[in-house]
Amino acid sequence: MDSLLHIFDLATITSVFAEFRSESHHSAFWLAVGKIIWINVLLSGDNALVIALACRGLAPPQRLWGMVLGAAAAVVLRIVFTGIVATLMELPYLKLAGGIALLVIAAKLLVPEKEDEEGVAAARHLWAAVQVVVVADIVMSLDNVIAVAAAANGSLPLLIIGLAISVPLIVAGAALIMLLLNRLPFLVWAGAALLGWIAGEVIATDPAVAPRLHALFDAGAGAFLDTALTRLGLAPQFAVDGGTGAEIVCSALGAIIVLIAGSIWRRRIQVSAERC
């Protein structure tokens, strides 16, 4: 509750606008916004399908309102939940747990899922449809919340802008998004690798993990890797203050683990389906 009140506190809102004015001039900020949009779109195909299914029973003039109002409520709730998760992730071992969960989420992206349209009832009234959309978004968006909180790295402006742009895009272009991902499968694999990279970065920056990780690379391994980087004409990143070598290694391992685990998981599902 304290985290929720903190998000809507006037001082917090003022600081968010100030932070946005400060960061919006840098290209890195907009690259991060793009990353959040990509992650959210990639993970929200099922949410978009549920929205369409929930609103299909409405009269044609009300369908658009059902989707718009449902999406608007989803944006607000997702910003709140993601802000709370981002705050909690500052506690020791929570980033570690979140990173491991994100690895599973990323690998699951590569596993084919059965389509199930029977479980979503078509609402007959506008507000009933909005309620279905909001409840479905809350239930189905835990993976989005974890991934977006990790990508935003505690920046509320990034959370708000990224989610505010991506959720309406998902609602407006659900069919187009699904068609694009189906026709260009490499986008799903690239997105899964991106989530694995972020998961590794999240784990490496956990307050309880980071000191041990840097201590590991401060030993002989870090010096060896720094020597290799120097020979390649690159700056040392491991056994130096402020170096990001440990985070990069963990991020790369996260991406590799996701691609390997996802491939094995996908193959097992396909073999099981063929036997049936």
H-type helices in 141-184, by residue range? Answer: 142-152, 156-172, 174-183
Task: State pLDDT tens for residues 118-163.
Answer: 444 445 677 776 776 666 666 556 666 777 777 777 677 777 777 7
* pLDDT, average across residues 236-258: 75
> Rounded mean pLDDT of the chain?
72
Query: b/e per residue, 169-196, with b = 16+ CB within 10 A?
Result: bbbeebeebeeebeeeeeebbebbbbbb
pTM passes above 0.85: no
| Euclidean distance between CA atoms 271 and 276, whole angstroms | 9
- The dihedral built from the CA positions of residue 155, 77, 139 and 161, taken in this order, carries a sign that is negative
- For residue 21, is pLDDT > 70? yes
Which pLDDT value is given to residue 101?
Answer: 83
pLDDT classification of 176: cutoffs 50, 70, 90: low
Q: At 249, phi and psi to the nearest 5?
A: -60, -45
| Euclidean distance between CA atoms 168 and 72, whole angstroms | 8
pLDDT classification of 117: cutoffs 50, 70, 90: very low
Residue 166 and residue 74 in contact, taking contact as beta carbons nearer than 8 Å: no
| Euclidean distance between CA atoms 240 and 210, whole angstroms | 14
Answer with the residue of higher pLDDT: 140 or 66.
66
Which pLDDT value is given to residue 258?
Answer: 93
Which pLDDT value is given to residue 114?
Answer: 55
Lowest average pLDDT, out of 20-34, 99-113, 260-274, goes to 20-34
- For residue 54, is pLDDT > 70? no
